[in-house]
Amino acid sequence: MFEAILLTVITASTPLVIASLGELVTERAGVLNLGVEGMMIMGAVCAFAAAQLTGSPHLGILAGILGGAIFSLLFGFLTLTLVANQVATGLALTILGLGLSGQIGEAFVGQPGVKLPPIVIPLLSDIPFVGRVLFSQDLTFYLSIALVIGINWFLFRSRTGLKIRAIGDSHASAHALGINVIRTRYLAVMFGGACAGLAGAQLSLVYTPQWVENMSAGRGWIALALVVFASWRPWRVLAGGYLFGAVGVGQLHAQAFGVGLPSQLLSALPYAATIVVLIIISHNRRTTLINTPASLGKPFVPDR
């Protein structure tokens, strides 16, 4: 029983962690993309369609990543090249993604899906309990853990990561130092899109292997809240992702057992927790300065 719940929590948390990590990199570069939900659902429909048509779930994963990344390019073009308002553009991207995915997915409604098979790691998976929970998972789970470690190293140890953080802190100074702000931000936006797409692919190939309209069901918004909840730190995204994922699963079980807690209250919990974290970090000027990308959401036009 406990093991079953744990497995559901992992499956429910993985897309949150992946999408949130992508948005974390985007925001560390100073771009606020509120279109995570839209990119996620586009990833989900592309992944499902590709897997259905080719019969290969791995091609489906690839299609999900590409779908999310290409869709995010639209956001990049509007906000970085045409310097449109990031908040408005992000919201528009979500609305567009939800509509467009419904259109694309119309033919696939009710079709049987292709499930991404688990990868059972030899030896490790023989460890009692832990082996079945952690080492008999599908590709997306392993990827999510690798992304946490990789992004943490990349942002805080590599020189390119340093440049991304510098751009997020002050794009004008970064430009003055000769860093190509626009190009780096394009790449960061596309990385965010690719992660959101991968998260969407997990939804339509692992979580519920079928295509249902609006199947992202607000997970993109939770991923956005999660970035702030984690104060822009990858390991905290992992912890927060599992916390929020567990809350979601707990909500279902509570309903099943007829616990008298309104489900709306539980679904609001991630957002309430995010607000609490925001209050805590904004209390101290120093932690805010050091953790929050100072140029987040601000448009950048280089003077030439």
Angle 36-54/57-76 helices, nearest 10 degrees? 150
Please provide the distance, in angstroms rounded to a whole number, between the alpha carbons at the two ends of the chain.
64
Q: Contact 190/66 with Cβ under 8 angstroms?
A: no
Nearer to other proteins, 255 or 284 (CB): 284
What is the rounded distance in angstroms from the CA atom of residue 131 to the CA atom of residue 142?
A: 13
Quick one: which segment of 43-51, 173-181, 243-251, 270-278 binds other proteins (CB under 8 A)?
173-181
As measured in angstroms, the least distance from the Cβ of 152 to other proteins is 16
Q: Write out the two tokens for 188.
A: 């960061």
How much is the CA Rg of the chain, to the nearest whole Å?
A: 19
Cα angle for residues 45, 271, 35 (degrees, 5° grid): 35
Quick one: which segment of 67-75, 97-105, 168-176, 195-203 binds other proteins (CB under 8 A)?
168-176
Quick one: which segment of 87-95, 163-171, 212-220, 255-263 binds other proteins (CB under 8 A)?
163-171
Q: Does 293 bind other proteins (CB under 8 A)?
A: yes
What is the rounded distance in angstroms from the CA atom of residue 117 to the CA atom of residue 97?
A: 27
What is the rounded distance in angstroms from the CA atom of residue 166 to the CA atom of residue 161?
A: 9
Q: Does 165 bind other proteins (CB under 8 A)?
A: yes
Q: Which 119-148 residues touch other proteins, going by CB under 8 A?
A: none
Q: Does 289 bind other proteins (CB under 8 A)?
A: yes
Quick one: which segment of 31-39, 127-135, 155-163, 274-282 binds other proteins (CB under 8 A)?
155-163
Which of 88, 177, 259, 276 touches other proteins (CB under 8 A)?
177
- Which residues contribute to the site for other proteins (CB under 8 A)? 159-160, 162-163, 165-166, 168-170, 172-174, 176-179, 286, 289-294, 303-304
